Amino acid sequence: MRLVAKARPKGDTAPKALACYGLLRADTDEMLLRFVDGRPVSAVTTEFLRWVCGRLAKARKRVFVLVWDNAAWHVSAAVRSWIREHNGEVKRRGKGIRILECRLPIKSPWLNPIEPKWVHGKRAIVEPTRTLTPDEVESHVCSYYRCSRTKHLQQHVS
């Protein structure tokens, strides 16, 4: 199947894109997903990391090995600072999830274990005869990855 971009109908007010943060748990092969109202930015990234740490803490994990690329919302000073502060707090308290970052070289997505999952997921949910609404995309994605729909992460504008 070959996909081509379709023109949007006039007056369509639905967002052009839907952002989704994802984490592949190597130990369970489970995908943890959160959709975003707005663009992925540093504040949303740190909120996602906080949520993941909470989920992993409930699973009694101690270290969260984070493999990710060089997207601007991953490498920003705000995100690096948040991770540093988070790890410092974990060390001071003696409990919590420590984050160990593993940055991938630029333009090397094949090194990230989640990338094939994203590719298969995108191919599985597409409908070649029509454009899905953002709600349908979210529903199809959550169904494909067998994860529950959660409240969207919010992009807070100050």
110-136 pLDDT per residue, tens: 888 888 898 899 889 988 888 888 899
pTM exceeds 0.75? yes
Q: Stretch 5-25: mean pLDDT, rounded?
A: 80
- pLDDT score recorded for residue 144: 96
Residue 27 amino acid letter: D
Could you state, in order of their start, the residue ranges of all structural domains in the chain? 19-152
What's the fold here for domain 19-152? Answer: Nucleotidyltransferase; domain 5 (3.30.420)
Among the ranges given (19-23, 42-46, 132-136), the one the predictor scored with the smallest mean pLDDT: 132-136
For the chain, count helices (H), then strands (E). Answer: 5, 5
- pLDDT score recorded for residue 3: 63
Q: Give the three-state DSSP class for 42.
A: helix
Q: Alpha-carbon distance 101 to 87, whole Å?
A: 11
* Stronger pLDDT, 33 or 128, i.e. the higher one: 33
